[in-house]
Chains A and B, each alone.
Chain A
Amino acid sequence: MLWLRMGLTHPKKTVSSKAPSPLNGLSPGRPAPTPLLDAPPETICPTQALKEHGNVMTVDYTRCIHCRLCHQQPDQNRMSWEEGYQWAQMTSPRLPHSFRHSLHIRVVDAGDCGACLNELHQLASPVYSLHRLGIAFTPTPRDADVLVITGPITVSMKEAVQEAYQAMPSPKRVVAVGTCALSGGLFASSFALAGPLEKILPVDLSVPGCPPPPLALLHAFQLLMGAKSEEMRTQGVRT
């Protein structure tokens, strides 16, 4: 009774996926493409995420770790910073037909530092309330539609990741969450890695970020459910 009353008297406001602006700590933001810098990009970015492309300095978001070193440079070398969270990218042309109504997710930690996992965990809190969208975490891959992998895939976790994928029924999707899973990030040169994920499993959706904030993850799952058809149409994916 005590908890029922407390739950009712302490309502929590849910952040909707149409997020407010400014984002006020809901997302760390990331560097935006900027006109060419004076200094060579490899002296600025510790993960070599900055690439010259014509006369624009572009950002390889699968490598960016939001360290802000490129944003804290003197004027002529400063990358501009964008707010936002709609970072997920479809990386396979496969169609998201089967997951219109609900999505069951199995998360596998493959060497995560804990931040990506905690952001996934926060999705279940009343602030994001993942369940209202028909999305749920499931303890077994047999029930799962989506395999979410965080971390750079260590050698010892490789088989566990493969076994989880094989145990899932079709149709199934693989989501790589975080810079580590996408490119290895800062750990890319470690001898103990079997990753990044694309070397091991076919990746359907990538969510860059270090870690991607809960809103970015929510956006990614909605993409899988076909709810965000706008972005997919512009990327030439039929919904």
Chain B
Amino acid sequence: MTAAQELEMILTQHQDINRRVESNGIRLTIPASLLPQLVSQLSPQWTFVGIVPEDDARTQSLRLLYVFYTPKGPWLGMEVRNHDQVIPSISNILFAADWQEREMEDLFDVSFAGHPQLGDFVLHDSHWPEGTAPMKRHSWEIHQKANGFEDLGTHRIVDASGSFVMPIGPVFSGTAESIQFGLETVGEEIVFAHIRPFYKYRAVEKLMRGQTPMGSLLIAERIDGLTAFSHALAMAQAWETLGDLQISPRAQLLRVFWAEIERIRSHLQVLSGILESTGLSVPQNLLQAQEEELLQISGAFSGHRYLFGLIRLGGLSRDWSAEDIQHIVKRLETLVHHSQEILDALTFDNSFLDRLEAVGTLSGERARTHGLVGPVGRASGIHRDVRIHQPYAAYDNVVFDVPVQTEGDGYARFRQLAQEMTQSIRIIQQIPSMLTPGEVVPTDKFHPALRTAFGYVESPGGSVLCAVSSNNQGMVERCRIITPGLVNWHAFPDAIRHFAFQDFPIIMATFGLSVADLDR
């Protein structure tokens, strides 16, 4: 039975569900009391993406949209009103919703009945009074606590003789990003791990409000600077759906081209991070030099080393000659070839393999519980990639495979990244011969529709969903960005449990997650 048929069957059981079919999805309006039942019926076949807040124009209040999709199938949004009913928590059914519910509670003051741990998440209690709710429709003035002082202590739950908490962060080694962990232990083994993110919370979703489309792209690029192109592309695609903009085949192909270049760069960076954590400095430096070479190629041809400012609504901000494209492809081929040589040599290095194999293991079942996305999920056997399952730009015209591993350990994640890089260069090689002349730099006038639209992109770290609704001046009314960091960091404390302290930096490196992406 397909997912769509199953949905039909479930819907015939419930008379009080209002259904609307939209351009690329189905929208249901459901009473909150039905939510847990529907979610448990849908979740085996439908993939949960996240909770998107919307403004209900009729009741002048907030409503939540629970977003799901099926591979190659439609999107499903379940609307739940917030103003006159209690919303039950679904995180006991879908663990992936845990952090999203905590986030909604902190930012919108939506209470989820039955959630065991609400509050002190995005807005740390040491600085912000409970109930601040900065994202509520009319909250213009947001007050900090007077004399607030960040409490750098961590929670503690393990009760055993000799147990203690090893605090790590928020500031730790080298050029690491700021995030805090509390590792509970009785000696060598990490018995339980706490994670405390949002030290870097910049309130991006709040800032987006009232931005022009161009301004929203610039901010989206700076959510996570290392996957800037993907985030901006997701944002642009949401606007393009709202404004019904046509994008030329040439621009679509070039977007795929640069998106894959970004994937190679990001994977090289994560791989060299893994080598750094295991102390293999020669291959680490060699890979890092390849990454720098790629940054220089990006800088020379796109104008920015991290591809900022390349995405425009309806296309890209510049075009390239056939010679330029050929030249980039040639240099990329050599670069990926050199990197593969190093990565192949590593598979013969016993001391390296010993540190990765059977370390930080996330079984397929646990990975599914967390709803993991991106290479981390695929290394645990979750075949999930929106490039294939919800094709955008020109991804349905290029041929590529999505590699999947089954072990879910550090070495599986290492191999996953290496194999994905090979597929990326395979996509890039197909593009020059497919490019036809056409307009890339857009000039169209643009009138967005007054509803919510989604843009989804498989960023190097996993799928990014950008939900944008526009106001009648064509500015952002509400914006919600569900990033791979928000999903995958949730599983990280689970992956380090029962491993030794010295494995902690290695497991963190194999996850290759960005904190900026989570904190936004």
Q: By the criterion CB–CB under 8 Å, are B200 and A151 in contact?
A: yes
Residue of B nearest to A214 (CB): B292
Whether B144 is near chain A, meaning CB under 8 Å from some CB there, is: yes
Whether B345 is near chain A, meaning CB under 8 Å from some CB there, is: yes
Residue of B nearest to A113 (CB): B225
Q: By the criterion CB–CB under 8 Å, are B218 and A67 in contact?
A: yes
Q: By the criterion CB–CB under 8 Å, are B171 and A108 in contact?
A: yes
Encode contact with A along B279-303: 1 for CB under 8 Å, 0 otherwise. Answer: 0101101101101110111111101
B305 in complex: contacting residue of A28, A109, A117, A151, CB < 8 Å: A28
Q: By the criterion CB–CB under 8 Å, are B175 and A157 in contact?
A: no
Within 8 A of B (CB), among A161-184: 164
Whether A7 is near chain B, meaning CB under 8 Å from some CB there, is: yes
A25 in complex: contacting residue of B148, B177, B285, B297, CB < 8 Å: B297
Q: By the criterion CB–CB under 8 Å, are A158 and B150 in contact?
A: yes
A107 in complex: contacting residue of B174, B226, B305, CB < 8 Å: B174
> A114 vs B299: C-alpha distance in the bound complex, in angstroms?
17
> A118 vs B177: C-alpha distance in the bound complex, in angstroms?
10
Encode contact with B along A98-142: 1 for CB under 8 Å, 0 otherwise. Answer: 000000000111111111111111101111100000000101000
| A contacts with B, residue count (CB < 8 A) | 65
- Could you say which residues of chain B place their CB within 8 Å of the CB of A112? 177, 200, 225, 516
Whether B194 is near chain A, meaning CB under 8 Å from some CB there, is: no
> A12 vs B284: C-alpha distance in the bound complex, in angstroms?
13
Whether A213 is near chain B, meaning CB under 8 Å from some CB there, is: yes
A67 in complex: contacting residue of B225, B269, B309, CB < 8 Å: B309
> A217 vs B516: C-alpha distance in the bound complex, in angstroms?
21
Encode contact with B along A136-157: 1 for CB under 8 Å, 0 otherwise. Answer: 0101000000000001101111
- Could you say which residues of chain A place their CB within 8 Å of the CB of B199? 154, 156-157, 160
How distant is A139 from chain B, measured CB to nearest CB, in Å?
Answer: 5
Q: By the criterion CB–CB under 8 Å, are A191 and B142 in contact?
A: yes
Q: By the criterion CB–CB under 8 Å, are A155 and B282 in contact?
A: no
Whether B155 is near chain A, meaning CB under 8 Å from some CB there, is: no
Q: By the criterion CB–CB under 8 Å, are B174 and A121 in contact?
A: yes
Q: By the criterion CB–CB under 8 Å, are B309 and A68 in contact?
A: yes
Whether A26 is near chain B, meaning CB under 8 Å from some CB there, is: yes
Within 8 A of A (CB), among B496-520: 514-517, 519
How distant is B204 from chain A, measured CB to nearest CB, in Å?
Answer: 8
Q: By the criterion CB–CB under 8 Å, are A114 and B280 in contact?
A: no
B296 in complex: contacting residue of A24, A65, A152, CB < 8 Å: A24
Q: With A114-B516, A151-B200 in contact, is A127–B207 under 8 Å at CB? A: no
Q: By the criterion CB–CB under 8 Å, are B207 and A190 in contact?
A: yes
Whether B134 is near chain A, meaning CB under 8 Å from some CB there, is: yes
Whether B14 is near chain A, meaning CB under 8 Å from some CB there, is: no
Encode contact with B along A188-214: 1 for CB under 8 Å, 0 otherwise. Answer: 011111000000000000000011011
Q: With A25-B295, A66-B304, A154-B199 in contact, is A117–B150 under 8 Å at CB? A: no
Q: With A25-B296, A159-B149 in contact, is A7–B282 under 8 Å at CB? A: yes
Whether B201 is near chain A, meaning CB under 8 Å from some CB there, is: yes
> A29 vs B225: C-alpha distance in the bound complex, in angstroms?
18
Q: By the criterion CB–CB under 8 Å, are B219 and A186 in contact?
A: yes
Q: By the criterion CB–CB under 8 Å, are A211 and B285 in contact?
A: no
A114 in complex: contacting residue of B150, B201, B226, CB < 8 Å: B226
A126 in complex: contacting residue of B285, B515, B519, CB < 8 Å: B285
Q: With A6-B342, A151-B200 in contact, is A121–B299 under 8 Å at CB? A: no
Q: By the criterion CB–CB under 8 Å, are B134 and A213 in contact?
A: no
> A154 vs B283: C-alpha distance in the bound complex, in angstroms?
36
Most B-side CB within 10 Å, residue of A4, A113, A114: A113
- Could you say which residues of chain A place their CB within 8 Å of the CB of B225? 112-116, 118, 211
Encode contact with B along A1-41: 1 for CB under 8 Å, 0 otherwise. Answer: 01110110010100000000000111111000000000000
Q: By the criterion CB–CB under 8 Å, are B214 and A126 in contact?
A: no
Within 8 A of A (CB), among B302-357: 303-306, 308-309, 317, 338, 342, 345, 348-349
Whether A187 is near chain B, meaning CB under 8 Å from some CB there, is: yes
- Could you say which residues of chain B place their CB within 8 Å of the CB of A91? none
Q: By the criterion CB–CB under 8 Å, are B288 and A25 in contact?
A: no
> A7 vs B286: C-alpha distance in the bound complex, in angstroms?
8
Whether B127 is near chain A, meaning CB under 8 Å from some CB there, is: yes
Q: By the criterion CB–CB under 8 Å, are A127 and B174 in contact?
A: no
B202 in complex: contacting residue of A115, A122, A128, A154, CB < 8 Å: A154
- Could you say which residues of chain A place their CB within 8 Å of the CB of B200? 109-112, 151, 154, 156-157
- Could you say which residues of chain B place their CB within 8 Å of the CB of A113? 222-226, 228, 516
Q: By the criterion CB–CB under 8 Å, are A26 and B304 in contact?
A: no
Whether B124 is near chain A, meaning CB under 8 Å from some CB there, is: yes
Q: By the criterion CB–CB under 8 Å, are B218 and A120 in contact?
A: no
Whether A56 is near chain B, meaning CB under 8 Å from some CB there, is: no
Q: By the criterion CB–CB under 8 Å, are A65 and B286 in contact?
A: no
- Could you say which residues of chain B place their CB within 8 Å of the CB of A192? 201-203
Residue of B nearest to A22 (CB): B300
10 tightest A-B contacts by CB?
A25-B299, A115-B225, A25-B300, A25-B296, A113-B225, A125-B288, A3-B282, A7-B282, A192-B203, A159-B150
Mark A residues whose CB is within 8 Å of B.
2-4, 6-7, 10, 12, 24-29, 46, 65-69, 72, 107-122, 124-128, 137, 139, 151-152, 154-160, 164, 185-187, 189-193, 210-211, 213-214
Mark B residues whose CB is within 8 Å of A.
124, 127, 134, 142, 144, 148-150, 152, 170-178, 198-204, 206-207, 214-215, 218-219, 222-226, 228, 269, 280, 282-283, 285-286, 288-289, 291-293, 295-301, 303-306, 308-309, 317, 338, 342, 345, 348-349, 514-517, 519
Contacts A6-B345, A72-B317 aside, 10 further interface pairs with beta carbons under 8 A come to A3-B280, A28-B299, A111-B202, A118-B175, A124-B288, A125-B291, A126-B289, A127-B293, A156-B124, A158-B150
